[in-house]
Structure 1
């Protein structure tokens, strides 16, 4: 029963923190992230990131991305697919080069420095989705490009992680767990996106229509959750983030007549319990172990973590024809790091590339960049011209 008390405390404090954040004119997610930092090991240490908190957090990010897909315009996403790929590619190259060079200059070995660059190459778009939803910019052309770039970024991140594991193995460094060959991983992901097309085109409409005929309360909502969780699970199996699978599930369900009903049913479910726990869990990852001795490294890498995505993705957007303001919005929307960075850092820790204090520093930089991202995104969104959101006629 202890977890029920923890959950109650999280919901009370995140509600109050979100209210205070909105009154101060900052995104509500900032308040929720700060609650996690205060309650977690970094400060009061009242709540630890145990299995139940992690489970609720994982469900929260899946529901959040499902809602993002539910509100997305597939035609708009396809229209901005090319710039999204350019944005993702340049947004991966810059962190690998800049952060890798900074780590090497700081005294890390070339292999360790390259690994640190790879850690910060991946974007976690979940927090950006929350901010874009809050400021009604999810279906803008900037929002569509950020979402499309996040999907491409996730795939590139998996490829880089696989290459790093192969490089570690060639150096005689063992990593925990079984890691399939890169070719197999890529083949599985191609199959996943082929299956996603089938889901959007035929399977989701059939399943949603079938659910309406079931004599069961909330059968349509239940079926949408089955599609959401199933897609998240399959994406995780093929090496992608479960959030990506949930996002495409949302897109699939959005192309059925039940879109409005599901938005009304699923959003309260997510915001009432699971999504606040996800944002708190990000703060719970923060610790202050060896903070003082690594302060210089943490500050330099945090600055570069923000600048490398802002400049790299912003440059990709400019090359794709976006204006300076729109490019800045896209760049800031790609700053947040998340599960892929944490996973990569953990592999480096297990392999002995990142020792205790260095590993703690990398985790702290990931958290700091994630906390700064929504603040920066909000400021750049305010600079966009006040005009109707872009759509496809």
Structure 2
């Protein structure tokens, strides 16, 4: 279903954004172990750095949550930036250790900014962290970066190259995932808008038909009734009686036409419904293919199938992530079968979809038919309606 698919996409994007933080803890853990193994670090540095990293992680989670809610957590971003530098300096400023924390900050702080601002933020981060990492490396505080055989210029060039590359790449990694997430949101909103548009068009059509078919009679009734009142006041009882007789006839005509209009909406035409549904689905980006018999389905069964088609299409638009839909109608002398198959499989049980399918099951049961709607093992969702064809009188 679309709602479920959007929720899963949100979780995936959020986990992807937070993977950077997982990488930070991994890299820092390796750097701490290497530092203890080479006696280049101690608990007096590790403990405050870890405490700062815990606070940084909390702020990081708040920032990623705000990103998915279309907000820019300015206060969290501003607070976590200096905190990442504090953690880097206290921890030892190793390029492949505590020096990874400002890069994680950069990866999420650049999300929501313009391209120019993201580039400027990356450049500013590189300018700040490169000297810190160079000083730590030259002082022998980075066991992962040996300096015994490297010159000062070589150390500076190596550390600078590393951070320039990282600061050039990190602003865009998470921005790509957020862009994909927002595309998914826009697609979901487009499907919902398409469904609302179809409902609005149906309401307008119903209002137009009521106005055209019943409006004239009601206007005439109002005029005739007013005339009858005037005639009765003028003591012309015969003429008033004639006018009221015409009012009664107009009222009966209006009532008959109103019933015909409502009956036309209650009894759907299968062919017209198939054509409408195909147009709506394809407008929503769902490729719709009709497989119809050369002979029409009997009217009693066709009316029920038309309701099934309408509900199935509504569920595809509102609840699935389908890109293709196949509608098949076939019948024999004994029964008719309608099958709607789409590739936007719904993982929830049918009874959780809503009351629409339950109502269709009751309609089919009233004509002796059955309704079955279940996901298949091949990633598809199939709705199958079967109804017996009434025997012909005298056959």
The two structures have a TM-score, normalised by structure 2, of: 0.27
Structure number with higher helix proportion: 1
Greater RCO (CA < 8 Å, at least 6 residues apart): 1
Q: Which structure has the larger Rg over C-alpha atoms?
A: 2
The two structures have a TM-score, normalised by structure 1, of: 0.27
